[in-house]
Amino acid sequence: NRIKVFSPATVANVACGFDVIGLALDNPGDEIEMWLSSEPGIRIREIHGADLPLEPSKNVCGVALQALVKKLPDPLNAGFEMIIKKNIQPGSGIGSSAASAAGAVVAANILLGEPFPKKKLVRFAMEGERLASGSAHADNVAPAILGGFTLVRSYTPVDIVGLPTPPGLWVTVIHPQIEVKTSDAREILKHKVLMTDAIKQWGNVAALVAGLYRNDYGLIGRSLEDVIVEPVRSILIPAFQELKIKCKEAGALGGGISGSGPSVFMLSTSEEIARNVADVMNNIYQPLGLEYHIHVSTVN
């Protein structure tokens, strides 16, 4: 029997939470169709929507699945076959590789009768991230697997905490069609931070979490500030400051770079505001003559 899993795009970092906070969108998302076969091994039969390797050891789905198989309590006398439909463009900054890796391990876990709890699957999907970007961060795969907002309390050992999603939260994402590789966007970061910046950043992270628990949209908005990573990465994104200022004027709570960019996200408290924010993004980007896509979605 075949199953089909929808695995959503995600916004990593959510401004202040570099490598630790992420949220899942309700669209777009990749689709993974998977079934078991009697022949052991992993076979990626087709990939639609992107030019990616079919060879399992070079594909994030294959690598994540291999990590899962290695941790099965009993040896497996079956193999996995899959078809991948990419609806999230690779390199967009909304967790394209994470969605595929997460979808693959979720699908396999269902086919095997759920030997692993969902949080455990995050560890396997992180191997896909290691392949895609050289770093096994979990702030995209965790929300892709668990939904809503998630926090990575620790990487050694991996400790994932689900966070509440306040009702009526909308996300507007603009994806400029320029290439920013996650590996490059990590390379340019400084390895030391100032104590004064660290104090601001952990104040914001803690307040964002408090805002999510209290449905305090004002507090969430004030917390969407990144004084460590954004100042370095934002130079890669056309009209970044203007986007931030004008989207907030249009009613957005705030936002920042989505993951390692080039996408930029804004949170709003209603669909109407989220769509106004999309219009503002359009007005800023249209004259630039750059190709771009805008997604409006709820947190899911």
Catalytic residues: 129, 182
Residue type (1 letter), 243: L
144/185 with CB nearer ligand HSE: 185
| Window of 13-21, 53-61, 101-109, 207-215 that interacts with ligand HSE by CB under 6 A | 13-21
CB of 263 to ligand HSE, least distance (A): 10
DSSP 8-state secondary structure symbol assigned to residue 188: T
3-state secondary structure of 269: coil
* Of positions 96, 100, 109, 140, contacts ligand HSE by CB under 6 A: 140
**Under rule CB under 6 A, how many of the chain's residues touch ligand HSE?**
12
CA pair distance 97, 125, nearest whole angstrom: 9
| Window of 52-60, 136-144, 154-162, 289-297 that interacts with ligand HSE by CB under 6 A | 136-144
Residue 30 binds ligand HSE (CB under 6 A): no
Residue 259 binds ligand HSE (CB under 6 A): yes
* Of positions 150, 260, 263, 297, contacts ligand HSE by CB under 6 A: 260
The CA distances from residue 91 to 33, 182, 272, in Å, are 22, 8, 28
Tokens of 72: 């099965």
* Of positions 186, 200, 222, 293, contacts ligand HSE by CB under 6 A: 186
Contact 100, 61 (CB under 8 A): yes
* Of positions 30, 127, 139, 226, contacts ligand HSE by CB under 6 A: 139
CB of 112 to ligand HSE, least distance (A): 28
Residue with structure tokens 């052991």? 40
CA pair distance 98, 300, nearest whole angstrom: 16
What is the chain's Cα-based Rg?
19
Residue 96 binds ligand HSE (CB under 6 A): no
Contact 235, 220 (CB under 8 A): no
Q: Name the residue with the smallest CB distance to ligand HSE.
A: 259
Complete DSSP assignment for 155-173: ETTEEEEEE---TT-EEEE
> Which residues would be at the binding site for ligand HSE (CB under 6 A)?
12-13, 18-19, 137, 139-140, 182, 185-186, 259-260
